[in-house]
Chain A
Amino acid sequence: MEVCRKTANGLDGTELRLGLPGGGLEGDVVKNSAANGKRGFEEIVDFKLKFSPKGTCTNYMDQSDEKVVKISPKDKKFLPCSNDPPKPPSKAQVVGWPPVRSFRKNILAVQKSSDEEREKKIGSNNPVFVKVSVDGAPYLRKVDLKMYKSYQELSGALGNMFRFFTMGNCGSQGMKDFMNESKLMDLLSGSDYVPTYEDKDGDWMLVGDVPWEMFVHSCKRLRIMKGKEAIGLAPRAMEKCKNRT
């Protein structure tokens, strides 16, 4: 019988794996079909052997005899050894035990930021990543807004990334331009691309609208639109500006 080479995940070439919905164990696992009256594994494969499924071992441990220890997740001290008297059987779950990889590694997954999480992140030195999409570009980028101190810096970085996009005038003069309605119109119809962002309220705004710090707090994602499309945003931008002053 040939021995198959191990693949990268250590499994030989001839294997059968049965999967689980959303299962992320070190392999895939089958849904508990017995629970819903669906067929279990032994009915899937066509056994020609006669055997009667034996009942599970009845000689299992009495619950009260289990030597279990109630562990709170924060308790990292050493656990008692076998000489301790048996504790009541209730078990709090311990981090990372049993050692089965969870489907979503909660800690490591990129979480959708809630507002509080964003606030916490912005308060500390943690990065604030937002997605940047450019109309017509095949893929998104992510930028860390904390890396920049002004619109100018952001513009420079995005310019490097996408190379064909210009934010026009930014900085305080640029902001003033944005606040000046007629100049805004010139700017929009002139440039090819215009940066916009989605703020906390879900509105799409022109970048440069608000002071930088406020922008970092409220920006959820960036979208570099074609100039023509952004024209419709200008009046709303003006409204919001007026409301804020």
Chain B
Amino acid sequence: MREDRPPPPPSRGGAYSPPPPDQVLENVLEHVLQFLTFRRDRNAAALVCRSWHRAEALTRSELFIGNCYAVAPRRAMERFRRATAVTIKGKPRFADFNLMPPDWGANFTPWVTSMAQCYRALEKLCLKRMFVTDEDLELLASFPSFRELVLICCDGFGTSGLAVVASKCRKLRVLDLIEDEVTDDEIDWISCFPEGETCLESLIFDCVECPIYFEALERLVARSPSLKKLKLNRYVSIVQLYRLMIRAPQLTHLGTGSFSPSEIVAQGDQEPDYSSAFDACRSLVCLSGFREIVPDYLPAIYPVCANLTSLNFYGEACFLCLQVLDTVRDAGLQAVGATCKDLRELRVFPIDAREDSEAPVSDVGLLAISEGCRKLQSILYFCQRMTNAAVIAMSENCPELVVFRLCIMGRHLPDHVTREPMDEGFGAIVKNCKKLTRLATSGLLTDRAFSYIGQYGKLVRTLSVAFAGDSDTGLKYVLEGCPRLQKLEIRDSPFGDSALRSGLYRYYNMRFLWMSSCRLTRRGCKEIAQQMPHLVVEMINGEEEEVKEDYVDTLYMYRSLDGPRADAPSFVTIL
């Protein structure tokens, strides 16, 4: 239906008349544009001219909203009338670390309300850091074609909402709950899936901290022949896991729940043959979980490890992505470096996430990884000790790096060998890793580090800074450099109004700027707000007090097509 195109001229004398040339062109254009999938390409196409804008809008099936407050739901949906898959992101990332009070916003309700009118044919929805209520889920469940729900770092709903989705979405294929906060409404939502065969392909609920009725889960798995991904929560014991695995040997992704026996195992019962259960799952490529590991059971996964990885005999590594705890120690990382030659992504988390804990990984491990895993693209590394030399080595050994996130947990820690700031290390990363798009810094950094980042970080889109820099100059380097910067989040760094002003020309081209516990004043923020009418400038108070005269607690600002939001809570002041 071409509702926004002028009607074709009337045909003459009843004979067939071919469509006018520009309409032919538009038809062709629409057919061609169907093949454009990358969002950025589509955005570029939409800027060519009006008819391209129109055609692109009608052919866009996946709608991505990077900031739920950047555009009103209605406006987005009226432009892209035919979208069937929507992704919306809400709160800024630092909200994950308790840097933002609750009830800040990012409510899904206005979106789902508009969708109920404009996107009845919606099939897929992905929400990240949004506040979603049970009522929202209920409304979503009423969309007849809805089949994929992915919720990441969301909260506001409970097992009641899950129950409605399970029972009403007849075509549900994917229900992925990833790191959400789900309240326990004492509803057995697993039992709410309808009887008979389901279309389920993925069921991820490891974050749901509520007991489940296992028999219902077992029956569900048994009647879901398409199920490939299953990630269980910690209320599933190893015995129960076994029962599930023998029912679903076709699984490719398995999250194993607690991986320990529940207390109810009777004495003298024959222990199930875990090894053969794992062995039967020939297609497993992803294994996660092990929440309460009882090591006696670990040998069971050896057969699967052979499929997952060849961290072993033959030197080929199928591991592309590895997430470990730092208890592997530098030695473990050396082993990884020696064997996982194809590793693309590595995340090393701290078992003890405090600043002054003993960290068993350090520059030694990082160096080993860099020497072994030359194809590394993404790294997240928590440690207590680091050297510039190791970071420089990584920049030289791993030129494919796209994401480099180093967290030296002690604030302001210099190179532990030379006692120098970590400037040169991070400088080398931006200089040598030409594909770098995401960078997170830590350790002792002077303004020089930021001069490197500004100068060499040509493709950097996301930058996270904490406890770094000497003066406004540091931030100015970044705002005057880094041509592709989109998301900038800064905490506890000595950047003030003058630095903020230096970025004035570019804030419309960024998704957001977050600055907390810096040296911004209310007056400085107000200046920005006055000069940039399409920027929403939020001052967020950590404690619910009067606005203090000195520095602003948190500045969160973002561009918006539809002005300041109407749902800001009392602790948010929009300038």
Complexed CA–CA distance, A102 and B181 (Å): 11
Interface string of B134-149 (1 = CB under 8 A from A): 1000000000000000
| A76 in contact with B320 (CB, 8 Å) | no
- Given known A-B contacts A19-B290, A56-B362, A98-B409, A11 and B295 have beta carbons under 8 A apart: no
Complexed CA–CA distance, A31 and B328 (Å): 11
Query: From residue B446, how far is it (CB to closest CB) to chain A in Å?
Result: 7
| B414 in contact with A16 (CB, 8 Å) | no
Complexed CA–CA distance, A106 and B97 (Å): 10
Contacts of B492 in A (CB 8 A): 76, 78-79, 94
Complexed CA–CA distance, A55 and B277 (Å): 37
Complexed CA–CA distance, A17 and B332 (Å): 15
| B412 in contact with A61 (CB, 8 Å) | no
Q: Does B349 contact A (CB under 8 A)?
A: yes
- Given known A-B contacts A98-B350, A107-B98, A12 and B345 have beta carbons under 8 A apart: yes
Contacts of A100 in B (CB 8 A): 97, 349-350, 353, 382
Interface string of A33-64 (1 = CB under 8 A from B): 11000111110111111010110110111000
Q: Does B29 contact A (CB under 8 A)?
A: no
Query: From residue B264, how far is it (CB to closest CB) to chain A in Å?
Result: 18
Q: Which residue of A lies closest to B356 (CB)?
A: A91
- Given known A-B contacts A28-B288, A110-B183, A139-B187, A82 and B444 have beta carbons under 8 A apart: yes
Contacts of A3 in B (CB 8 A): 320, 344
Q: How many cross-chain pairs have Cβ atoms below 8 Å apart between A and B?
A: 322
Q: Which residue of A lies closest to B260 (CB)?
A: A21
Q: Which of B9-17, B160-168, B214-222, B450-458 contacts A (4 or more CB under 8 A)?
A: B160-168
Q: Which residue of A lies closest to B93 (CB)?
A: A99
Contacts of B323 in A (CB 8 A): 11, 15-18, 27-29
Q: Which residue of B lies closest to A60 (CB)?
A: B385
Complexed CA–CA distance, A9 and B345 (Å): 13
Complexed CA–CA distance, A77 and B516 (Å): 10
Q: Does B329 contact A (CB under 8 A)?
A: yes
Contacts of A27 in B (CB 8 A): 288, 323, 347, 349
B contacts with A, residue count (CB < 8 A): 123
Contacts of B101 in A (CB 8 A): 107
| B410 in contact with A15 (CB, 8 Å) | no
Q: Does B467 contact A (CB under 8 A)?
A: yes
Q: Which of A65-73, A146-154, A179-187 contacts B (4 or more CB under 8 A)?
A: A65-73
Complexed CA–CA distance, A243 and B555 (Å): 55
Interface string of A1-21 (1 = CB under 8 A from B): 101100011111111111111
Contacts of A172 in B (CB 8 A): none
Complexed CA–CA distance, A40 and B346 (Å): 18
Q: Does A163 contact B (CB under 8 A)?
A: no
Q: Does A89 contact B (CB under 8 A)?
A: yes
- Given known A-B contacts A47-B335, A101-B96, A138 and B328 have beta carbons under 8 A apart: no
Contact residue among B99, B321, B421, B470 (Cβ-Cβ distance under 8 Å from A14): B321
Contacts of A164 in B (CB 8 A): none
Q: Does A24 contact B (CB under 8 A)?
A: yes
Interface string of B183-217 (1 = CB under 8 A from A): 10111000010000000000000110000000000
Complexed CA–CA distance, A89 and B412 (Å): 12
Q: Does B324 contact A (CB under 8 A)?
A: yes
Contacts of B360 in A (CB 8 A): 56
Complexed CA–CA distance, A66 and B451 (Å): 25
Complexed CA–CA distance, A16 and B206 (Å): 15
| B364 in contact with A57 (CB, 8 Å) | yes
Q: Which residue of A lies closest to B187 (CB)?
A: A139
Contact residue among B158, B320, B327 (Cβ-Cβ distance under 8 Å from A30): B327
| B163 in contact with A138 (CB, 8 Å) | yes
Interface string of B255-271 (1 = CB under 8 A from A): 11011000000000000
Question: Within A122-151, which residues are at the interface with B (CB < 8 Å)?
Answer: 131, 138-142
- Given known A-B contacts A14-B318, A56-B360, A67-B413, A51 and B385 have beta carbons under 8 A apart: no
Query: From residue B210, how far is it (CB to closest CB) to chain A in Å?
Result: 12
Q: Does B155 contact A (CB under 8 A)?
A: yes
| A34 in contact with B288 (CB, 8 Å) | no
Query: From residue A26, how far is it (CB to closest CB) to chain B in Å?
Result: 7
Contact residue among B167, B253, B325 (Cβ-Cβ distance under 8 Å from A138): B167
By CB atoms of chain A within 10 A, which of B354, B494, B517 has the most?
Answer: B517
| B311 in contact with A82 (CB, 8 Å) | no
Complexed CA–CA distance, A81 and B285 (Å): 47
Contacts of A60 in B (CB 8 A): 362, 384-385, 416
Q: Does A168 contact B (CB under 8 A)?
A: no
Query: From residue A121, how far is it (CB to closest CB) to chain B in Å?
Result: 12
Q: Does A32 contact B (CB under 8 A)?
A: yes
Q: Which residue of B lies closest to A46 (CB)?
A: B312
Q: Does A23 contact B (CB under 8 A)?
A: yes
- Given known A-B contacts A1-B342, A3-B320, A40-B328, A45 and B99 have beta carbons under 8 A apart: no
Query: From residue B517, how far is it (CB to closest CB) to chain A in Å?
Result: 4
Query: From residue A198, how far is it (CB to closest CB) to chain B in Å?
Result: 14
- Given known A-B contacts A19-B290, A101-B97, A57 and B362 have beta carbons under 8 A apart: yes
Q: Does A25 contact B (CB under 8 A)?
A: yes
By CB atoms of chain B within 10 A, which of A12, A25, A101, A139 has the most?
Answer: A139
| A18 in contact with B163 (CB, 8 Å) | no
Apart from A1-B318, A40-B329, A41-B327, list 19 A-B contacts with CB within 8 A.
A1-B320, A3-B320, A17-B287, A18-B323, A28-B288, A28-B323, A33-B293, A33-B295, A33-B327, A40-B327, A42-B335, A51-B338, A57-B364, A78-B517, A78-B551, A82-B470, A93-B354, A96-B491, A99-B96
Kindly list the 5 A-B residue pairs having the minimum CB-CB distance in the complex, ordered from nearest.
A96-B97, A17-B288, A53-B331, A15-B321, A29-B325
| Chain A interface (Cβ < 8 Å from any Cβ of B) | 1, 3-4, 8-34, 38-42, 44-49, 51, 53-54, 56-57, 59-61, 65-69, 74, 76-79, 81-82, 89, 91, 93-102, 104-110, 131, 138-142
Supply 25 A–B pairs (Cβ within 8 Å), ascending by A: A11-B323, A15-B319, A15-B345, A21-B292, A23-B291, A28-B255, A28-B290, A29-B324, A33-B327, A41-B328, A42-B335, A53-B331, A60-B362, A66-B413, A68-B411, A69-B412, A79-B411, A95-B99, A97-B409, A105-B155, A107-B101, A108-B155, A108-B181, A109-B155, A140-B185
